[in-house]
A and B are shown apart, each in its own frame.
Chain A
Amino acid sequence: MNAMDISVTVNGRVIRDSVIPRMSLLDFLRDRAGLTGTHMGCEHGVCGACSVIFEGVPIRSCSVLAVQANNKEVMTVEGLSNDDGSTGILQDAFRDAHAMQCGYCIPGMLVASHALLESNPNPDLDDIKEAIGGNICRCTGYIQIIEAIQLAADRMTEAKT
């Protein structure tokens, strides 16, 4: 298969590379962009561990090809941290609620939560469940994740007022 040249903006950084057409966006992000925060869980679009923001929308990077991201903007979990490396409000809320154990699904959870809070700053329980309903966590039983998202929403609202 002939390689194709692509240019993808990831967390604000333009990455130009040559990839085989069948390379998944997940593999591109991990192996070419060096952003290993995005995780492979099922590779068939069920678990949500590989979620990234693609043109403003959360998607499964295991089920999108890298070439489809040509000239597009992608944000990964690494993009949630501040430029100085410190963690942001959403990440800190996950820490304060201890919304994780092994941490493997958490990048996907954070990305899904980020997308929720961008579009809905005051989500109710149903909104939160819908936002993370496609992300499987095997450690927490979700309760502390829900609490973290509520906490983040409260803090973001507070920060704006």
Chain B
Amino acid sequence: MANGRYDIYFQIVPENQFTGSKFFSWGQQRTLGVRGIQKLVNLFVKYLMTPIGSDPLDTTYGTDLPHLIGSNISIDDAKDILLLAVDKTAKAIQGFQISSDVPDDERLATATVTDFIAIPEAPGFAAQIFIDNVADQGLTFLLPTLTPRA
């Protein structure tokens, strides 16, 4: 059920078009609105991928996950940070939604790291995160491409 109010849809920039740490784009087409679980994923990803402290109006917004880019942290520690970031993001999203009139398909139920794929030669990692809404719909997206895998 996607009867909520729309947000602006943004999407990951293809890997070969990365510039610096700017991963997101409004897309190559005209601006799109988004509702339902995809809106929830956008909400989740935006929080997860915002470096904490970078929002001057809310310095608690975001996580430490983007700080991993270019850092010399070990893969094992990176996994812990990912888990913590996903957990913080889930709690923050639920905090936003707890007092709001949010449709079930946009209300976050759980967020789970379902797979952590170390890439020693990069070095780096990829991860799969499963987003589940209250309407019991689920969506998996893949870091760093954020490509959802239904």
A binds B: no
Chain A interfacial positions (CB closer than 8 Å to B): none
Chain B interfacial positions (CB closer than 8 Å to A): none
